């Protein structure tokens, strides 16, 4: 109930946001009509259409984007026609004759003589407005949409979006009622009423033009930082609104091979990269017993160590870290994991990495050997290509820590980043239980660089986005994704936030897209501090050169660790590349990457 109230209040505050300006003409154009038969149906249609589209956009695939784009075009055309009819009453009269005739028939069919068709026109206008309305993504709407993207479609998500839209419509209704009284006064003069009608027509056409040019999601959204965002942030912090966290999806029934490839129908395929922003930890408390140390016999290979067994590790405190080397969340934990391994190695701690691959290239032994060397990992790593160790622990996410005491019992586990102080306190507690004294004091505070740097303070409004056909979402190139064969894509005229597109000749496979020729491009409108992209060179291992642009210009100071200030870089291995690193991620920006050689492989975007 509290979340519904917060969502509703967030919607009410949108009346103060610049992003509401383009839709105000559509609303006030009906201010001279009765509120119950015209204003209320229009606002109802707007709320329902916005909630439906926002729910699908947060969790749907590329088909949703395509349908939504066609819906927007139809709505723009419809509202433009509406504006023209306000300017030219004679045109409105000719166009309304069929509807008037239909209304007369319906009126005659009703015993009380009420015209049942009168509600249809404002309701349709409201649906069109809901299709076009793009509110500035403040903290409250951002949390709702992020939670939807992470946790999938649900009735709860739609209800929260309806509450948000209802809040916006409440403030618009108040403004509409006030405007209606003003119009009633002005209509006493026929000349003034006609002048108001024409001004409304011009305003509607200006609003349509602003939306068609993307000003509602571009210029106006950037002006919202100092208005509703500050109020919403204060509201969220005041009542401690919970931040969205991904849940673990049930695993596939298949036990042969990696689950990520056997459950393409699931958006998360049973594996969830846990969000970087987590609640503040509770103090360390009495630790229970969650189970016994499972077998490690399922490892297909060992790095930095001969094969280990739970029996051989008895008497040691063991930290088991499930990770995969292209996972940004896993990479950001590594500075801490390495520091713990070094700090407590003489006190009886063994850090054991379990590398469970997400993508096919992460199964290759040579790739994992290179990654562990490049990442400075010298603790034992078990390659879990068949996910046997994963299933033995009943693990659900990357990254995940399991804490095993000296008697071989699992005492605690944690999914996701952060809470590092609590993790270290648990390590110290288990070492003390094992009889260790004079443990090193304090907690580690390493500073990661590049892809291992901590995430930004602001909540990233863009989430992990897969490029392969199996889990692609937010795709906006005209015609949609063509899976399994070469296809020439065209970039759309405009990208909305969290939409992406291909341009050039590409072959989109289940888990990746491969550029068949030089000059292949990918564009993504994102809102986050950092942008990463999992990439690979040509199939024969030949490096691929690329160039990155941000808002059509070289990134300069905003370049990532894997590009220079002009945006140039080279793909030399299959891994995660940091392409954009800004000081802040408070506004949406257009990312573009052009591959100067053919053969580039693109897998997934991640943000921070």
DSSP bridge partners of 504: 489
Q: Which residues contact 205 (CB under 8 A, 6 or more apart)?
A: 80, 83, 84, 87
Per-residue tokens: 64: 């949703």
Report whether pLDDT(383) > 80: yes
pLDDT tier at 194, thresholds 50, 70, 90 = low
- State the average pLDDT over residues 400-420: 95
Q: What is the DSSP string of 546-591?
A: EEEEETTB--GGGB-TTS-TTSEEEE-SSEEEEEEE-S---S-EEE
435 vs 11, higher pLDDT? 435
Pairwise CA distance, residues 386 & 298, whole Å: 7
Compute the mean pLDDT over every residue in the chain, rounded to the nearest whole number.
77
Q: Which residues contact 94 (CB under 8 A, 6 or more apart)?
A: none
Report whether pLDDT(517) > 50: yes
Q: Looking at 139-143, 344-348, 404-408, which range is the least confident one?
A: 139-143
Residue with the two structure tokens 């005229």: 493
- State the average pLDDT over residues 117-126: 67
Is the Cβ–Cβ distance between 463 and 527 less than 8 Å? no
- State the average pLDDT over residues 331-352: 97
Q: Looking at 193-207, 220-234, 324-338, which range is the least confident one?
A: 220-234
Task: Give pLDDT tens digits for 70-102.
Answer: 555 665 565 566 566 556 666 655 654 554 454
**Strands (DSSP E) found in 424-529:** 465-466, 486-489, 500-508, 513-515, 520-526
Residue with the two structure tokens 């391994």: 341
Q: What is the largest CA-CA distance in the chain?
A: 94
Strands 500-508 vs 486-489: parallel, antiparallel or unpaired = antiparallel
| pLDDT at residue 74, as a whole number | 63
Greatest mean pLDDT among 10-14, 35-39, 170-174, 190-194 lies in 170-174
Pairwise CA distance, residues 421 & 426, whole Å: 9
Pairwise CA distance, residues 570 & 255, whole Å: 38
| pLDDT at residue 459, as a whole number | 86
Is the Cβ–Cβ distance between 333 and 417 less than 8 Å? yes
Q: Whose CA is closest to 481, among 455, 457, 463, 508? A: 508
Report whether pLDDT(241) > 60: no
102 vs 496, higher pLDDT? 496
| pLDDT at residue 597, as a whole number | 97
pLDDT tier at 42, thresholds 50, 70, 90 = confident
pLDDT tier at 54, thresholds 50, 70, 90 = low
Q: What's the pTM? A: 0.59
Q: Whose CA is closest to 400, among 388, 409, 408, 412? A: 412
Report whether pLDDT(220) > 50: no
pLDDT tier at 537, thresholds 50, 70, 90 = very high
Element (H, E) at 316: none
Per-residue tokens: 220: 């106006």
Is the Cβ–Cβ distance between 599 and 542 less than 8 Å? yes
Instruction: Provide, rounded to the nearest whole percent, the portion of the chain with pLDDT above 90.
Output: 50
pLDDT tier at 263, thresholds 50, 70, 90 = very low
pLDDT tier at 567, thresholds 50, 70, 90 = very high
576 vs 222, higher pLDDT? 576
Q: Looking at 182-191, 297-306, 436-445, which range is the least confident one?
A: 182-191
434 vs 165, higher pLDDT? 434
DSSP state of 301: E
346 vs 77, higher pLDDT? 346
Pairwise CA distance, residues 350 & 348, whole Å: 7
Residue with the two structure tokens 């990770």: 323
Pairwise CA distance, residues 464 & 278, whole Å: 17
| pLDDT at residue 591, as a whole number | 98
Classified as helix, coil or strand, 2 is helix
Is the Cβ–Cβ distance between 132 and 72 less than 8 Å? yes
pLDDT tier at 24, thresholds 50, 70, 90 = low
Report whether pLDDT(451) > 70: yes
Residue with the two structure tokens 């026929």: 190
279 vs 69, higher pLDDT? 69
Q: Whose CA is closest to 527, among 503, 502, 561, 500? A: 500
| Helical spans, DSSP H, in 328-414 | 328-344, 365-374, 388-392
Task: Give pLDDT tens digits for 288-337.
Answer: 999 999 999 999 999 999 999 999 999 999 999 999 999 999 999 999 99
SS (H, E, C) 193-235: HHHHHHHHHHHHHHHHHHHHCCCCCCHHHHCCCCCHHHHHHHH
Complete domains list, the chain, with CATH:
2-239 (no CATH), 273-452 (3.40.30.10), 465-607 (2.60.120.260)
Q: What is the DSSP string of 449-466?
A: -GGGSPPPSSPPSS--EE
pLDDT tier at 404, thresholds 50, 70, 90 = very high
Report whether pLDDT(268) > 60: no
Classified as helix, coil or strand, 330 is helix
Per-residue tokens: 247: 């849940």
| pLDDT at residue 166, as a whole number | 83
Q: Looking at 54-68, 197-211, 401-415, which range is the least confident one?
A: 54-68
Q: Whose CA is closest to 357, among 331, 384, 393? A: 384
Report whether pLDDT(198) > 70: no
Number of H helices, E strands in the chain: 16, 20
Task: Give pLDDT tens digits for 474-494.
Answer: 999 999 999 999 999 999 999
């Amino acid at each position: 109930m509290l979340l519904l109230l917060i969502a509703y209040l967030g919607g009410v505050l949108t009346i103060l946001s610049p992003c509401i300006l383009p839709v105000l003409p559509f609303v006030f154009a009906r201010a001279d009509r009765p509120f119950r038969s015209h204003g209320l149906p229009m606002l109802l249609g707007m709320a329902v259409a916005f909630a439906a589209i926002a729910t699908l956009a947060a969790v749907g695939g590329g088909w949703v984007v395509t349908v939504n784009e066609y819906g927007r075009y139809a709505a723009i055309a419809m509202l433009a026609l509406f504006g023209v009819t306000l300017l030219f009453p004679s045109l409105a009269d000719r166009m309304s004759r069929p509807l008037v005739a239909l209304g007369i028939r319906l009126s005659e069919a009703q015993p009380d003589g009420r015209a049942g068709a009168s509600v249809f026109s404002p309701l349709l206008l409201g649906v069109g407005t809901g299709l076009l309305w793009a509110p500035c993504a403040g903290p409250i709407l951002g949390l709702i949409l992020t939670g939807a993207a992470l946790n999938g479609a649900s009735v709860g998500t739609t209800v929260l979006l309806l509450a948000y839209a209802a809040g916006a419509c409440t403030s618009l209704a108040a403004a509409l009622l006030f405007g209606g009284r003003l119009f009633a006064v002005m209509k006493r003069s026929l000349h003034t009423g006609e002048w108001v009608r024409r001004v409304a027509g011009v305003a509607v056409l200006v609003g349509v033009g602003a939306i068609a040019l993307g000003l509602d999601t571009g210029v106006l959204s950037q002006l919202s930082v100092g208005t509703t965002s500050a109020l919403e942030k204060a509201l969220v912090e005041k009542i401690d609104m919970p931040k969205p966290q991904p849940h673990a999806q049930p695993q596939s029934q298949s036990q042969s091979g990696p689950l990520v490839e056997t459950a393409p129908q699931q958006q998360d395929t049973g594996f969830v990269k846990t969000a970087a922003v987590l609640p503040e930890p509770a103090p360390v408390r009495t630790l229970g017993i969650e189970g016994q140390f499972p077998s490690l016999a399922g490892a297909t290979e060992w790095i930095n160590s001969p094969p280990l067994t739970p029996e051989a590790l008895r008497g040691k405190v063991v930290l088991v870290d499930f990770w995969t080397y292209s996972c940004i969340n896993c990479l950001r934990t590594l500075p801490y994991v390495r520091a713990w391994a070094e700090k407590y190695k003489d006190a009886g701690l063994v850090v054991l990495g379990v590398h469970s691959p997400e993508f096919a290239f992460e199964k290759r032994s040579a790739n994992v050997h290179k990654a562990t060397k490049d990442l400075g990992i010298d603790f034992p790593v078990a390659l879990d290509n068949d996910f046997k160790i994963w299933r033995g622990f009943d693990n659900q996410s990357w990254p995940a820590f399991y804490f095993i005491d000296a008697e071989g019992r699992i005492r605690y586990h944690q999914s996701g980043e952060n809470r590092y102080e609590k993790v270290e306190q648990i390590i110290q507690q288990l070492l003390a239980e094992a009889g260790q004294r004079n443990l090193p004091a304090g907690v580690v505070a390493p500073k990661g660089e590049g892809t291992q740097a901590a995430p930004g303070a602001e909540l990233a409004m863009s989430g992990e986005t897969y490029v392969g056909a199996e889990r692609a979402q937010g795709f906006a190139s005209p015609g949609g994704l063509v899976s399994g064969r070469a296809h020439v894509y065209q970039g759309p005229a405009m990208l909305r936030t969290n939409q992406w597109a291909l341009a050039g000749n590409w072959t989109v496979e289940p888990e990746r897209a491969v550029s068949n020729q030089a000059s292949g491009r990918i564009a993504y409108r994102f809102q986050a501090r950092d942008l990463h992209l999992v990439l690979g060179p040509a199939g024969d291992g030949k490096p691929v050169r690329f160039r990155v642009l941000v808002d059509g210009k070289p990134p300069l100071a905003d370049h990532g660790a894997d590009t220079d200030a002009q945006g140039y870089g080279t793909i030399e291995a299959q891994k995660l590349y940091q392409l954009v690193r800004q000081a802040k991620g408070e506004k949406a920006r257009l990312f573009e990457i052009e591959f100067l050689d053919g053969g580039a492989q693109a897998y997934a975007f991640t943000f921070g």
